[in-house]
Amino acid sequence: MEIILSAAIGVLTASGVYLLLRPRTYQVIIGLSLLSYAVNLFIFGMGRLRVNAPPVLEPGGVGDLSRFTDPVPQALVLTAIVIGFAMTALFLVVLLASRGFTGTDHVDGREQRHD
Amino acid sequence: MMELSIIWSILIAQIMLGLAMAFAFYRMVRGPRAQDRILGLDTLYINAMLMLLTFGIRTANSLYFESALIVALIGFVSSIAFGKFLMRGEIIE
Amino acid sequence: MNPNEGNGTIEYAGKLLSVFILAPFVGSLLAIFFPPDQRGATAWFAGAIALLCFLVAAGLYPFVTSGGVLRYDIAWLPELGLNFTLRMDGFAWLFTVLVTAIGVLVVLYARYYMAAEDPVPRFLSLFLAFMGSMLGVVLSGNLILLAVFWELTSIVSFLLIGYWHHNAHARDGARMALTVTGTGGLCMLVGLLLMGRIVGSYDLDVVLASGDLIRNSPLYMPVLILVLLGALTKSAQFPFHFWLPHAMSAPTPVSAYLHSATMVKAGVFLLARLWPVMAGTEAWFWIVGLAGLSTLLLGAYFAIFQQDLKGLLAYSTISHLGLITVLLSLGSPLAAVAAVFHIVNHATFKASLFMAAGIIDHETGTRDMRKLGGLIRYMPGTAVLAMVASAAMAGVPLLNGFISKEMFFAEAIETHQANILDTMTPYVATLAGMFAVTYSLRFIHSVFFGKTPEDLPKVPHEPPRWMRVPIEFLVLACLVVGIIPAITIGPFLHTAVVSILGANTPYYSLSVWHGWNLPLIMSFVALAGGIGLYFLMRNYLATSVEGPPIFRLLHGQRIFERVLVTLSWKWARSLEQRLGTRRLQPQMRFLVFIAIAAGALPLLLNHFELPPLLVRSIDPAFALLWAVGIACAIGAAILAKFHRLAALVLLGGAGLTTCLTFVWLSAPDLAVTQLLVEIVTTVLILLGLRWLPKRIEDTEETELLSLKVRFRRLRDFLLAIVAGGGVALIAYTIMTRPMPDTIASYFLERAYKEGGGTNVVNVILVDFRGFDTLGEIAVLAIVALTVFALLLRFRPQADSLEAPEQQRVQNAFDDDHPDRNKGDSVAEYLFVPSVIMRWMFPVIGMLAAYLFLRGHDLPGGGFAAGIAMSIGFILQYMSGGTRWVEERLRIHPLRWMSIGLLVAAATGIGSWFFGYPFLTSHSQYVTLPIIGKFPLASALFFDLGVFSLVLGATVLILIALAHQSIRAPRAHARAMRKEAR
Amino acid sequence: MTNWMHHLLILPILLPLMVGAAMIPIDERNRSLKGVLSFVSTLALFILSIVLMRIASMDGAPAGNGVYQLGNWPAPFGIVLVLDRLSALMLCLTSGLALAAQAYSIARWHTAGHHFHSLFQLLIAGLNGSFLTGDLFNLFVFFEIMLAASYGLLLHGSGPLRVKAGLHYVAINLAASSLFLIGVSLIYGATGTLNMADLSMKLATLSPEDRQMVEVGAGVLGVAFLVKAGMWPLSFWLPTAYAAATPPVAAVFAILTKVGIYVILRLSLLVFGASAGASAGFGQPILLAGGLLTIAFGAIGVLASQAMGRLAAYSVLVSSGTLLAAIGLGHPSMIAGALFYLVSSTLTIAAFFLLIELVERGRDAGADVLAVTMEAYGDADEDEEEEEVGSAIPGTMAILGLCFCLCALLLAGLPPLSGFVAKFAILGGLFGLSGAEATPAVSAADWTYVTLLIVSGLAAMIAMNRVGIRTFWASIENTVPRVVVIEITPVVVLLAACIFLSVQAGPAMRYMQATADSLFDPAGYTERVLSAPRAGGQ
Amino acid sequence: MSHLTDLPVWAAVLVCGLTVLGAAVALIGSVGLLRFTSFYERLHAPTLATSGGVLMICTASIICFAVLQSRWVFHEILIIVFVVATTPVTLMLLGQAALYRDRVEEKRGVPLKQRPPREEPAE
Amino acid sequence: MRTWLPYPLLSVGLLIIWLLLNQSVAPGTFLMGTVLATGLGWVTLKLGLVRSHPRRVLLIVRFGFAVAVDVIRSNIAVIAVILRGQRRPPNSGFLTIDLDLEDENALALLACVMTATPGTAWLEYDRGRKSLLFHVLDMENEDIWLDTVKRYETALKEIFG
Ligand code: NA
Ligand code: NA
């Protein structure tokens, strides 16, 4: 499992980073989204991978790490998801505004000769 | 013996669903038209939901259920957004 | 007076030192408030302050005789050795008197010199500030304080030189003066800091007692160079002399004060001040000597060729400062005496000459010697005064300049060090003396004698009576000191010299006649040669252009300006462009590269062992799932440029895979949230897509990609691969390592017992780390506000203003058919779907309620519920359109947001009333009839806040975007109307 | 044991958060009400932060003093807020700047867009949270609050320049936020903790493999902070963004880079201090090199700037570089000076940003159009009208000129103002008054630092000189800018604060010294955080 | 996966069978998506998964949990209901969009928009 | 009653959903569900949905049963079409049918039913002509499809009558 998830994180990161380096704002926003998947999975992975051990206790129960997966990274990922969503929205609107003002969807607000 | 067959049958089911997702992916990436891609995504969603259900059976844990339920109830929203975008050029008029 | 008279008196006298700083600066502040037309009153005020300082200085004389020192200490930054220490010894006293006395005279002179339209209060305010700064330099008892006042003199002089700032020369001159002297000052500061490091204190008394320590320190050379940079720039020594002539654009009183008596003297003052601890080494001799000698000679030579009266005086000043510098370079006590003496002498005659030049300028309207002549007939009094002062400058016997110059010649012939510089000194000195005679003679002859020019701007006459008084005073001093030096200046000079040299004070005689000796012969040679030279060159000079032959091509100012422009503007600009960029892509590239490096370095520096590859326990279904996910990600990356919709679809695929992963790996909460967010994000981006320009793949273009572009893409690709590989490697390494001892155990143990919930993730979110959640929803609120505010000002491009093509086609279809109304197409299209979409609203509402209420115990929670509910709203917007929904449902996202945030925070504050910190949760099962046990947790209220905020923020973001579709056509119509008009 | 005074510690976060939230639904037509609310809140915050500063500098306080356990969960499990001299200082600086910027904005700039005051309050909440929190992930959250608000504020007023700058700013910072997350989670994955104090305790006991992972995490995390701090070459977005922002926003942005510096200073001394075993001093050479390069680049930029806004923005970089390199050099004696410099340069740059617009107002009529766009509510596309605010006060030019001179002196670090005192304090700390016994040689790094410090001061002097002459002396049209008192007062007050700092350099430096001393005592911090008792005594 | 062995044989067979069958139906649907040549044909493909697939797998899940937890837990029915209710919307919208686009491009074999209206005016 | 429960069927449905979601019929859950179901009914009222009054529960059940059978049958049919693959490509085509159904809810239900039975795809409903364009995968016999749809229509008309 670890190897698959690492590969997934790697590919998501690579795709995201590649898009971040591209000249079109839309590419960048897609890149940021892919990157945020990668980051979320990365954070998640920091709690180690467990199948069928969700950190949900029986009522009245006391949990320990031998039976349940680490809940902390999950809580962190939740926060990261929310913030990531907010930032995607923000970036989208900024890129729209930029496109509105400059007429182009180039990240620099003007067409460069070759990218 | 029975344990093994249970494991295997569910695994086979999951692999089949995975393949179904792969085929859906083919449509998403190859199109040829936008509607094909969206249909592909919709199929991907449905198969993913089925995958969630099989996962629930496999682990006998019902915590997968909400995710499946959300796919079933809300998953169509993004598809109709796509559809409306195709049809009207904007999704909220 | 006996210096041991009692500490009380000395202490009191020490306190009086503060007058020298306080009076001028306070006076400076007050002077600004004088009305601009009150020239006289302001001058009286400023003069009174200068006079006060002079009188106090005079009164303090008894305390500084025979090596007495007055001190006044105020703690400023005692931890770092910087104190506001004022210290007056004989040398400082002499300078104080010079500064204040000439100050009084200059104020008097300026009273008449300045025109009515000049803002005199500003001038005098600056003047007083300058005087205060100069006195500060002189009286500083702490090296750093000295540097402080030092820079202040530069700054104030900048403002004084630029006083007539409508004049471009004044501006340039001021800037140059500040740049050169300010730079020198900063270097000096470092030098003084190093000196403090060597000595262990910045206190001048301590420093002056540590000569050997300084001279033997390994840091001596840096200290020397840095301090000399300060002193030589300030005193306009070669090669930093060029600023001084250009400072002549200042009003003449400024020149008379700053460029004769005070500011330029600060440099030589410092050399003399530090002479006991720094002089005497070979390095000192060479550097200071070389600078002094070249300045002495070049200054004098250049002075001859000036056509501007003040220019001549400026170069002569440079030359005389060179003379003083040479004297200080020699390292002999006797030379030091001569230096101090010449400082005083030069101040008196040069100040009077500047004032005379000012009168000439004032009365004739020009300072060009080619245009002047025969003025003795119009202003005989001034002429006489100028002649005497000039003679003093030329070193004519019976005037003060002669005596100090004789002392200089005498020292020049002495042997101090066995090297070529030392050998050259007498010859250079004589030559420079000769030049001095020439330019002095020229000054007098070309201005006061010869033909009276016809084309003078004004008819010249004698200046007002009181305008000449300062000159008379100064010239009188030249005469008196020149004739009876021992009685007049003698004791004061001695006091000053003793305070520098202490026990090393040599015997010296201040008599006019020392018999026929070599210096006298040198003087006569210089005098005769100078007169001869003048008459040889007279005709040439009468018509020549400004500046010496050949050298005038080497225009100091122009070089400086060019260097400055090149360095500080051209190079800076090109460097800025080379070292920086305003484009995003390179910035991102840097960021990625540095992040990779930051992650890789710790691995490379300490041997990193690759973790073992674990291939067992791979679930084929999971692998297949991610095969699809990975393919989606790559596909999205490839298609994002030309197939936006496809990329978005594929992004959805990757997101879905991520959700499944979360379920698979025991994170149902994450899956739920990710799924919901996924959907909203898709809707969001689709809302935005409408406003982006069309981008159609141009196959030809892609084929003709230049090599450069291919290279760039390859580089980015490799960068991306490395980044991805690195992150994957790190993730794998950590995931295959055993768990550390983590705080998670604590949460698992107490989530139910103390947090009151079985879903540990949710308990963390609303309780253990509820503060994070509060912050996270605040982020959402902020972003929603930002989006909202930005979209209010959204101006779409013209090409996306009109309705999308589909709508136009469909509307046209409706228009073409008489039985159809506009909008029928869309109504038909949505007729059946919208029925289902509307029925889904309450169902989604139910789901949201379910997610909300179960969150604490099972996956879900306020956030998921809020997003789900907002999807319900969006669905209605999609089915009926903006107007339709807003006619029916009350949508107040701003209010929901505000309430949400306030409720969440207020829940946190509630715990204060029970004596607990913010956000301490309280949960209790309330037993109600019928319903039975019902959990009532404060976390529920907190989650309610989260729900309200998330709902509000998400709806606000999406709706604000959706509203653009209504606004744009209106704006479009408006624009069309405008165009039509 | 929990008394009401104890809750003061969280007020710097809660007060602006709640005031900001409460103002959201207030109609934009009631801007003056919002302005007053906001101003009063910030004023209260300023007073509060002074009180907190006093609390922080109390010695011999009871255990748990200055540690606030959110949700009553003890560190390292729950999130804690930690008040010490450094954080109190930063709080004070933040609210001071905010107060000035806010007053300034009320004259006209807050009308340039919607929800200015809410965003402003939330920015303060984010800043204060970043300074107070003792938890790495919570720091991320507050960073995001701060960043999100800064995006909003940067875009306040809209217009092509701001939006273009905003796009870059947002993109870079989003990427940096990803790094932040990777770094924090990696540290968690290797150590199992998120609490800074706990991390500092655990680091020495980790296995070499885990420590390596922590270092990777810290390295990546550091990049995120350095982006914020503006280290070359991660800072190219900064001049454009800061120059494009509206003046009050730019002024308060002066402290945004300092957040990065603050965190680096805090973490490098707390986590990678002397007690960190093999990881001690981690990253310092990078900070030094980067800081030096940043000073150089900033100085070049200062020289190359024609517009005052960019000049000011590059001064921000110089200031950052100076601080980063000072941290990188790691001389304990320099840190106090560096802190003094931090305060002084922040105040100066803020004052300058506020001043620029006033000075340029008279010269460029076009600038006002952007400033005051009256919007038809709900629809901003209506015709823009220009509104004259303020009147030409006599003597305005003189006051502006004086303020400009003071700014120039402060930026160039020329005597006698706090800019000089700060540089002296840094250099004095670097060279030290070692005295007669042994004068240690000055290292090459030290020399480079000194040279760059001086050269950057010179660059500022030359550039300010050039700009000042052009503006005040050589300007052809002598229109006196229309300035209202409420605009000039904040500038004067900020500069007066600098003058106050110069005069009271002694007490100020004593505070900084105590701050620096406590930073070099990570054990004291750790002890205080980890052994703080819970309320209710469990 | 010990819990699944708690199932009685009949239930196990039923659960496994329905699961595999449901997955197979879904897979075949996807194969259809892959192989059909026109969009309108492909439009039918996912309905296999949304009808047969969902039905069978949900039933399997219901049986599994009902037997394991020995209580009647039907909440999977909700999934069936929701899927049945929401799938038409997507497919309808997509189908209409495809029709519109094909009509604009004047593709052959695509029925024109239904004109003229039923009450045709006399010529 | 109308003001309290604008859509009784909806509210009952919502209550059932609630109970199913919570997997409990405890009084607390029931009460909560009732409150939510009622409240959401009021909100839904604002969306202006037509109130239909389906009668005769028996008819509904019968209809449901018939549909279920159709679904299974058409599943098998479509599977067969797909599996036979290239050998015999599907003979698909468009069909138009005039509908008499007036009730929009009934129409929506018809759409659900047609979508749930693989092989028929609802495409376009023309409100003016009241005719439906749909697509069938296997057009062996057009009339069978038209009959099926008519059958559904009749059933729905009866139910919603
Ligand atoms: Na000699
Ligand atoms: Na169907």
Residues 58-77 of C with CB under 8 A from D: 75-77
Query: A–B: how many Cβ contacts below 8 A?
Result: 6
Name the token pair of A41. Answer: 């999975």
Q: Which of B39, B47, B58 sits opposite E94 (nearest CB)?
A: B39
Asked if C566 has any chain D CB less than 8 Å from its own CB, the reply is: no
Task: State whether C486 and C432 are in the same domain.
Answer: yes
Rounded to an integer, the average pLDDT of C662-687 is 93
Domain boundaries, chain B: 2-88
Lowest mean pLDDT across A53-62, C535-544, C865-874, D432-441:
D432-441
Contact between A3 and A49 (Cβ < 8 Å): no
Contact between C100 and C53 (Cβ < 8 Å): yes
Task: State whether C252 and C304 are in the same domain.
Answer: no
Q: Which ligand is nearest to the CA of C326?
A: 1
Residue C195 amino acid letter? M
Per-residue pLDDT, C397: 87
Tell me the pLDDT band of C514, cut-offs 50, 70 and 90: confident
Distance (Å) from CA C119 to ligand 2 centroid: 93
Q: Is residue C315 part of a domain?
A: yes
* C-alpha to C-alpha distance for C80 and C131, rounded to whole angstroms: 28
Residues 65-104 of A with CB under 8 A from D: 72-73, 76, 79-80, 83, 86-87, 90-91, 94-95, 97-98, 101-102
Name the token pair of C794. Answer: 């959204």
Q: Is the CB of A108 less than 8 angstroms away from the CB of D164?
A: yes
**Total domains in the fold of chain F:** 2
CATH for F65: 3.30.70
Q: Which of E85, E113, E117 sits opposite C836 (nearest CB)?
A: E85
D427-465 residue pLDDT tens: 988 887 765 555 567 788 889 999 999 999 999 999 999
Spatial CA neighbour of C41 closest among C26, C31, C51, C50:
C31
Q: Is residue F3 part of a domain?
A: no
Is C587 a residue whose pLDDT tops 70? Answer: yes
Q: Which ligand is nearest to the CA of C420?
A: 1
Q: What share of chain C in percent tops pLDDT 70?
A: 97
Q: Is F123 helix (H, G, I), strand (E, B) or coil?
A: strand
Is E121 a residue whose pLDDT tops 60? Answer: no
Query: C–F: how many Cβ contacts below 8 A?
Result: 86
Report CA torsion sign: D464, D465, D470, D474.
positive
Residue C845 amino acid letter? G
Task: State whether F99 and F132 are in the same domain.
Answer: yes
Per-residue pLDDT, F1: 60
Q: Is the CB of C813 less than 8 angstroms away from the CB of E113?
A: yes
Give, for C542, the enclosing helix (H) or strand (E).
Answer: helix C518-543
Q: Which of C75, C200, C779 sits opposite D144 (nearest CB)?
A: C779
* C-alpha to C-alpha distance for C835 and C839, rounded to whole angstroms: 6
User: Subunits touching A (CB < 8 Å, at least 3 pairs)?
Assistant: B, C, D
Per-residue pLDDT, C955: 94
Tell me the H-state helices in D469-536. Answer: 485-503, 505-519, 522-530
F81-94 residue pLDDT tens: 888 877 777 788 89
Q: Which is more confidently placed, C922 or C329?
A: C329
Residue with tokens 């020192």: C69
Give, for D69, the enclosing helix (H) or strand (E).
Answer: strand D67-69
Range of the structural domain that residue C357 is part of: 279-547
Q: Is residue F68 part of a domain?
A: yes
| Paired sense of beta strands C923-928 and D80-82, if any | unpaired
Is C808 a residue whose pLDDT tops 80? Answer: yes
Q: Is E2 helix (H, G, I), strand (E, B) or coil?
A: helix
Helix D160-191 to helix A25-45 angle, to the nearest 10 degrees? 20
Contact between D133 and D67 (Cβ < 8 Å): no
pLDDT mean across residues, chain C: 88
Would you call the peptide bond into D76 cis, given omega within 30 degrees of 0 as the criterion? Answer: yes
Contact between C329 and C284 (Cβ < 8 Å): yes
Task: State whether C210 and C357 are in the same domain.
Answer: no
Q: Is D521 helix (H, G, I), strand (E, B) or coil?
A: coil
Name the token pair of B44. Answer: 């991907």
Q: Is residue C627 part of a domain?
A: no
* C-alpha to C-alpha distance for C745 and C741, rounded to whole angstroms: 8
Domain boundaries, chain D: 284-375+394-522
Q: Is residue C373 part of a domain?
A: yes
Helix D11-23 to helix D31-56 angle, to the nearest 10 degrees? 170
Name the token pair of D183. Answer: 């770094």
> Which residue, of C218, C247, C271, is where some domain finishes?
C271
Residues 27-86 of B with CB under 8 A from C: 28-29, 31, 34, 37-38, 40-41, 44-45, 48, 51-52, 55, 63-64, 66-67, 69-71, 73-75, 77-78, 80-82, 84-86
Q: What share of chain E in percent tops pLDDT 90?
A: 50
Name the token pair of C132. Answer: 């205060």
**Total domains in the fold of chain C:** 4
Q: Which residues contact D30 (CB under 8 A, 6 or more apart)?
A: none
Lowest mean pLDDT across D375-384, D478-487, E65-74, F124-133:
D375-384
Task: State whether F101 and F127 are in the same domain.
Answer: yes
Asked if C806 has any chain E CB less than 8 Å from its own CB, the reply is: yes
Task: State whether C84 and C181 are in the same domain.
Answer: yes
Asked if F122 has any chain C CB less than 8 Å from its own CB, the reply is: yes
Residue D496 amino acid letter? A
C712-759 residue pLDDT tens: 899 999 999 999 999 999 999 999 999 889 999 999 998 888 888 888
Would you call the peptide bond into E116 cis, given omega within 30 degrees of 0 as the criterion? Answer: yes
Per-residue pLDDT, D383: 38
pLDDT mean across residues, chain A: 90
* C-alpha to C-alpha distance for C369 and D488, rounded to whole angstroms: 49
Range of the structural domain that residue F144 is part of: 57-160
How crowded is residue C6: how many other Cβ atoms within 10 Å of its Cβ? 10
Give, for D46, the enclosing helix (H) or strand (E).
Answer: helix D31-56
Kindly state the DSSP code that residue C449 receives in the 8-state scheme.
S
Q: Is the CB of B59 less than 8 angstroms away from the CB of A51?
A: yes
Name the token pair of C19. Answer: 């007058």
Asked if B9 has any chain A CB less than 8 Å from its own CB, the reply is: no
How crowded is residue C454: how many other Cβ atoms within 10 Å of its Cβ? 5
Per-residue pLDDT, D374: 31
| Total residue count of chain D as it appears in this document | 538
Contact between C213 and C151 (Cβ < 8 Å): no
Distance of CA C479 to the CA centre of its chain: 49
Asked if A52 has any chain B CB less than 8 Å from its own CB, the reply is: yes
Per-residue pLDDT, C3: 46
Q: What share of chain C in percent tops pLDDT 90?
A: 50
Q: Which of C168, C920, C971 sits opposite D72 (nearest CB)?
A: C920
Would you call the peptide bond into D233 cis, given omega within 30 degrees of 0 as the criterion? Answer: yes
Contact between C922 and C938 (Cβ < 8 Å): yes
B2-88 placed in CATH 3.40.190 = no
* C-alpha to C-alpha distance for A54 and A63, rounded to whole angstroms: 11
C148-167 residue pLDDT tens: 999 999 999 999 999 988 88
Interface with B, mutate which of E6, E90, E103 (most B CBs under 10 A): E90
Per-residue pLDDT, D262: 95
Q: Is residue C599 part of a domain?
A: no
Q: What share of chain A in percent tops pLDDT 90?
A: 68
Would you call the peptide bond into D160 cis, given omega within 30 degrees of 0 as the criterion? Answer: no
Pick the CATH number of A2-50+71-102 from 2.60.40, 1.10.760, 1.10.20, 1.10.287: 1.10.287
Q: Which is more confidently placed, C608 or A31?
A: A31
Tell me the pLDDT band of C952, cut-offs 50, 70 and 90: very high
Rounded to a whole number, what is the distance in Å from the CA of C888 to chain F's nearest CA?
6
Per-residue pLDDT, D507: 92
From first to last of its 538 residues, what are the pLDDT tens digits of chain D?
447 778 899 999 999 999 999 999 998 888 889 999 999 999 999 999 999 999 888 876 666 678 999 988 998 999 999 999 999 999 999 999 999 999 999 888 888 888 999 999 999 999 999 999 999 999 999 999 999 999 999 999 888 889 999 999 999 999 999 999 999 999 999 999 999 999 999 988 888 889 999 999 999 999 999 999 999 899 999 999 999 999 999 999 999 999 999 999 999 999 998 777 778 888 899 999 999 999 999 999 999 988 899 999 999 999 999 999 999 998 888 999 999 999 999 999 999 999 998 888 766 544 433 333 333 223 344 334 344 455 556 677 888 888 999 999 999 998 889 999 999 999 988 887 765 555 567 788 889 999 999 999 999 999 999 888 888 887 665 566 777 888 889 999 999 999 999 999 999 999 999 999 999 988 888 988 998 888 876 5
